[in-house]
Structure 1
Amino acid sequence: MDCSCSTFVIGICFRCGISADKSRTAISLCAKVFIWTVFCVVVVTLVSAYIISHLQMYLPSLHSATRSNVRDMILEIQVRNTTVLTPRPDACEACFSHNFKYVIDNNVMCKLYNDSQEIDLIIFIFTTHQHQQERNAIRQTWLNCTNKNKANIRYSFLLGEVPDENIRKLVEEENKIHNDIIKEDFVDTYQNLTYKTMMAFKYAITKCPHAKFVFKTDDDVWVNIPGLLKVIQREKMTLQTAVGGACFHGANPHRNLDSKWYASFQSYPHDSYPGFCSGTGYVTSNNVVNKIFEISKNVPFFHLEDVYVAICIRKLGYRLHKIAGFNNIRPSFDPCLYKGDNLITSHEVPPEMLISYWNTTCTR
């Protein structure tokens, strides 16, 4: 406390009839309070700055909680670790275990309804809780061939967990109607799509092992199922050791922080990816899915799921197989193209457009 402040305090004490000794004691006490206040403010400021600047570094996945209120509390604050302190290794020993618990588990999705029935294809569609309109549009259009999961083609919408109880309840009610949702208790974020992929693969090999082929796509994609089945029939031997789709054999990590596909040097310390097949739509055999799931235990987590699948494919000695007709963009609409044999997938097709496309016939 400076001299002018001390003089001011002594003056006030004198006017109030307080002795000089007591005045000095008051000054000493004020000084101590002032110093401790400044110290606490500095500490709180530094700690807050540290927490804010490092918050994005901590994204541990949500594990099962026995009580819903505990789960909600954890979900509100959890984020997945996208930036690690040391560069991500290329291999590890049992470092990546997909040990999440089912929140919604529809065992009937791969049920066989007679002794001669087979499942040629199971389709996994990545979605989010809020996208009910997208799911309904897909159910009304290109999924109608599944006969509500009783035909030789089966499907499921895939979700992680969210903290909003109202949204969760809406999804639970939706599932009671359609019985076509699978959900585990990892946090449902873009950074956790690799967990969603492993959930799909685990489901395919444990609950639908009799399915011959597996197709992964998103809820904003037009899928030409008849065309896809023709591709599978034509490429069935190749897909025993390959993943097929809109595949790219050369790609570099995005180092720009503003990019949706940003990957830090620590999370991926190489200058190029081993290629990838766009997550907007790729197909493979259940055999490959089984092998990917097994080898993933020794492949460190990487948040871009299609790149992670490609990393596993390379370690298996398998390959990425580019197939004409798979698009990670939206080609101009022509009903004869979209319903013919030359287009399998089209990306970024909103619900209204999807229904409109479906209801338009080819007149040539």
Structure 2
Amino acid sequence: MIREARNETGKLSVAENDVALKTTVVDEDQRGTTLSRISRSKPEQPKRELPALGWLKRVKWIPGARADEYDFINNPIEKCKVEDNRRVTLLVLVKSATYQTDLRDKIRNTYVIGITKYNVSVKVVFNLGYPENEKEQAKINEEARLHGDILQADYVEHYYNLTKKFVMGLKWAVKFCGSEFVMSTDDDIMVDIVTLARDLRSVPLEERTNFVIGKQNGYPVERNERSKWYCPKELYPEDRYPPFPLGHGIILSHKVTQKLYEASRDLPPEIPFDDVYCGILLKALGIDIRDRVGWFKKLHPQKRPADYFILQLKTDTMKTAWEEFENKL
């Protein structure tokens, strides 16, 4: 997430080469839509290396490498299946670092319970990379067995691998869920999941083709090498990013989810920031972003807080934030 003071969703230690785990391989479907606006001239696995600038001195990350070519090592394939074969209204992909067990448990004990309590059609999975020690992975495997909500792929868990986390989440949503809407959010966010699910369900079918809502920004590119958001001109020469939805809450229709996943294969990430990358893909596809807060205020003019989210929480404030939402349902 760009320029937001928040708990990081990945370790800031030096990332090693991606873990070469080959387990269950997910079959690739043939791509559907042809994206005429996106160049197909790049090789799928570029070998290009850039000078060691800024964070590239510390992180082994290759710009322009496809972000979807990883295996799912924990795959909750039963998560989106429902008895009556109806489509799930909303799939929530919670970006979480492997070590943030406490935050995941708080989410399970707040808005995940609310999903059942208020009978809304929502499924939640936690979107993880692979830790750098096997003891931590063993804990993740047990958590996956216990809760059935861990989505994990075999790239190294690291802040600068958020584009991989984002794209692998899109890939899973397209191939294993088919929900009407998909949301990517963080594990330190409290969500008014009941109001959000009800509002999304009421969106007319004709409006869902290019439906994207989020808190829109278009920040200047950070050129300070000491910043974790630093991006050298060699990677992104323009002075400002295109409009992008901040990564704490990106809400997409199923059709846009599929379009973004397909576009990511033709236009792999040149920068490691998932929300900016989402904005780059949306621009290439010609899809505009609806302002989330404005949309909420239009639907709920009297409601406070005037948003579906309370941001940047710690484990000891998650329950209070959920109760604040619940008391106003």
What does residue 219 of structure 1 align with? 187
Q: CA deviation at 1:143?
A: 1.5
- Amino acid corresponding to residue 348 of structure 1 in structure 2: Q
Q: Does 1:358 align with 2:322?
A: yes
Q: CA deviation at 1:132?
A: 0.8
Selected match of 1:64 from 21, 24, 32: 21
- Amino acid corresponding to residue 337 of structure 1 in structure 2: R
Selected match of 1:317 from 266, 286, 293: 286
Q: Does 1:196 align with 2:161?
A: no
What does residue 206 of structure 1 align with? 175
What does residue 70 of structure 2 align with? 100
Q: Is the 8 A contact 1:95 1:299 kept in 2?
A: no
Structure number with the higher helix fraction is 1
Selected match of 1:286 from 254, 264, 278: 254
Q: CA deviation at 1:287?
A: 0.4
1:238-270 deviation digits (Å, cap 9, x = unpaired): 44214211112x321111122231111112121
Instruction: State the alpha-carbon separation in 1 of the partners of residues 184 and 84 from structure 2.
Output: 26
User: Which structure has the larger Rg over C-alpha atoms?
Assistant: 1
What does residue 266 of structure 1 align with? 234
C-alpha spacing 1:132/1:186, structure 2 compared with 1 (3 Å)? same
C-alpha spacing 1:60/1:172, structure 2 compared with 1 (3 Å)? closer
Q: Does 1:165 align with 2:134?
A: yes
Q: Does 1:305 align with 2:269?
A: no
Q: Please give the residue correspondences for 1:79-98 in structure 2 after superposition, counting only pairs within 5 Å.
A: 84-85=50-51, 96=66, 98=68
Alignment: residue pair count = 274
Instruction: State the alpha-carbon separation in 1 of the partners of residues 90 and 209 from structure 2.
Output: 14
Q: Is the 8 A contact 1:83 1:264 kept in 2?
A: no
Instruction: State the alpha-carbon separation in 2 of the partners of residues 324 and 193 from structure 1.
Output: 24
User: Identity rate of aligned residues, in percent?
Assistant: 25
Q: Please give the residue correspondences for 1:138-149 in structure 2 after superposition, counting only pairs within 5 Å.
A: 138-147=107-116
Structure 2 unaligned blocks of 5 or more: 1-12, 24-46, 54-63, 297-302
Q: Is the 8 A contact 1:62 1:186 kept in 2?
A: yes
Which shifted more, 263-272 or 353-362? Answer: 353-362
- Normalising by structure 1, report the TM-score: 0.68
- Amino acid corresponding to residue 166 of structure 2 in structure 1: T
What does residue 121 of structure 1 align with? 90
Q: Is the 8 A contact 1:326 1:346 kept in 2?
A: no
Instruction: State the alpha-carbon separation in 1 of the partners of residues 89 and 278 from structure 2.
Output: 22
Instruction: State the alpha-carbon separation in 2 of the partners of residues 114 and 320 from structure 1.
Output: 33
Q: Is the 8 A contact 1:130 1:167 kept in 2?
A: yes
Instruction: State the alpha-carbon separation in 1 of the partners of residues 133 and 107 from structure 2.
Output: 24
Q: Is the 8 A contact 1:159 1:184 kept in 2?
A: yes
Instruction: State the alpha-carbon separation in 1 of the partners of residues 67 and 227 from structure 2.
Output: 28
- Amino acid corresponding to residue 263 of structure 1 in structure 2: C
Q: Is the 8 A contact 2:310 2:321 kept in 1?
A: no
Q: Is the 8 A contact 1:213 1:286 kept in 2?
A: yes
C-alpha spacing 1:112/1:235, structure 2 compared with 1 (3 Å)? closer
1:111-163 deviation digits (Å, cap 9, x = unpaired): 12224x33111000000111111011111111213339x96211100111112
Instruction: State the alpha-carbon separation in 1 of the partners of residues 219 and 202 from structure 2.
Output: 28
Instruction: State the alpha-carbon separation in 1 of the partners of residues 294 and 147 from structure 2.
Output: 30
Secondary structure, aligned partner of 2:293: coil
Selected match of 2:311 from 342, 347, 352: 347
Q: Is the 8 A contact 2:221 2:230 kept in 1?
A: yes
Instruction: State the alpha-carbon separation in 2 of the partners of residues 296 and 202 from structure 1.
Output: 10
Q: Is the 8 A contact 1:325 1:345 kept in 2?
A: no
Instruction: State the alpha-carbon separation in 2 of the partners of residues 65 and 284 from structure 1.
Output: 30
Q: CA deviation at 1:108?
A: 0.8
Q: Is the 8 A contact 2:67 2:163 kept in 1?
A: no
C-alpha spacing 1:255/1:156, structure 2 compared with 1 (3 Å)? same
Please provide the CA RMSD for this pair: 3.1
C-alpha spacing 1:82/1:60, structure 2 compared with 1 (3 Å)? farther
- Amino acid corresponding to residue 304 of structure 2 in structure 1: L
C-alpha spacing 1:175/1:120, structure 2 compared with 1 (3 Å)? same
Q: Is the 8 A contact 2:132 2:157 kept in 1?
A: no
Selected match of 1:110 from 80, 85, 88: 80
What does residue 245 of structure 1 align with? 214
